[in-house]
Amino acid sequence: MIRTALRPKWLGALLLAVVFAVICGLLGNWQLREARAEARAQEIERAAAMPIQPLTEVVQPQSAFPPDGSTRRITATGAYDADGQVLIADRRLDGELGYWVVTPLVVQETGASLPVLRGFVTAIEDAPAPPEGGVDIGGGLAPGESPMSEADLPDGVFRSIDMSLLINRWDTAVYNAFVFLTDESQDGKPVALDGIERVPPPTGDSAQLNLKNAMYALQWWVFAAFGFFLWWRTVRQAHLEETQPDGDSAPGDQPVNSVSVTSDPVTEKVSGGERDAAHTRSLSEVEKEQV
């Protein structure tokens, strides 16, 4: 079968199958991206439709992050702990590489620390101190990040918002969440940005998929596999036709109504003798009746 498959005609057919599979694969990936984008859009829409709630009604200190907490808009009141401020390295905003400025907010109702992502700076020395005194904040809630290596970083600079590191550094009860700050005010007046750029809240990235688009993606990938199957089946059929000699027929191809008759000389001789004997007896019986 390999020799048949290596013939120019079938190699050309294989090339067409490969091109077809590539096109189907690209279309399947496009549908998969659409499925994820649709899921994100639905998540953002769902979060936007939910009312803004006080932090204490959404999550509690040192408790698990709520399943529906991502992108939730919350408000909180408290005071910043300037000594606990840290920077998160290797972050980008509008194409620039820099640092996230994260400051603990001691929440008035619980006394626990809430990590607040106040903004973005391009250099460590550009990170401003937080405002003093009571402050009201609003923003989008997000879960803590996975741990990353802190090697070769100066003190107070991390590579992720790792809650375990923050608990050890702040030595207080800590919320298992952080906030992308969007609003910050004191006595009803907005706080000046002071050289810091706000980081947009999370966009509701979700591991879920839109089922309809995901099924479309699966169909395209099945079509790609079917193209190879069709090529293999065609080559196999050509191979069988080439290797089967002309006029040969498989067992069972004989006509049903064909009957093979053989004669046995011995049997015929015995049967003939019996017929002669019977004829002789019949003549004798006729002669007796005439007498």
- pLDDT, tens only, 120-164: 999 999 999 999 999 999 999 999 999 998 888 999 999 999 999
The secondary structure of 135-192 as a DSSP string is EEEEEEEEPPPPP---TT--TTEESS--HHHHHHHH-S-BBS-EEEEEEEEETTEEPP
Containing H/E element for 211?
helix 211-243
Q: Is residue 259 scored above 60 in pLDDT?
A: no
- Angle, helices 8-49 vs 211-243, to 10°: value is 170
Containing H/E element for 64?
none
Q: What is the dihedral of CA 277, 283, 286, 291, to 10 degrees?
A: -110
pTM: 0.59
Cα 67 to Cα 274: distance, rounded to the nearest angstrom: 102
Total Cβ atoms within 10 A of residue 52:
11
C-beta separation of 112 from 56 below 8 A: no
CB-facing half-sphere around the CA of 70: CA atoms within 13 A: 15
pLDDT in tens, 240-252: 877 776 545 444 4
Q: Where is pLDDT greater, at 183 or 284? A: 183
Q: Is residue 255 scored above 50 in pLDDT?
A: no
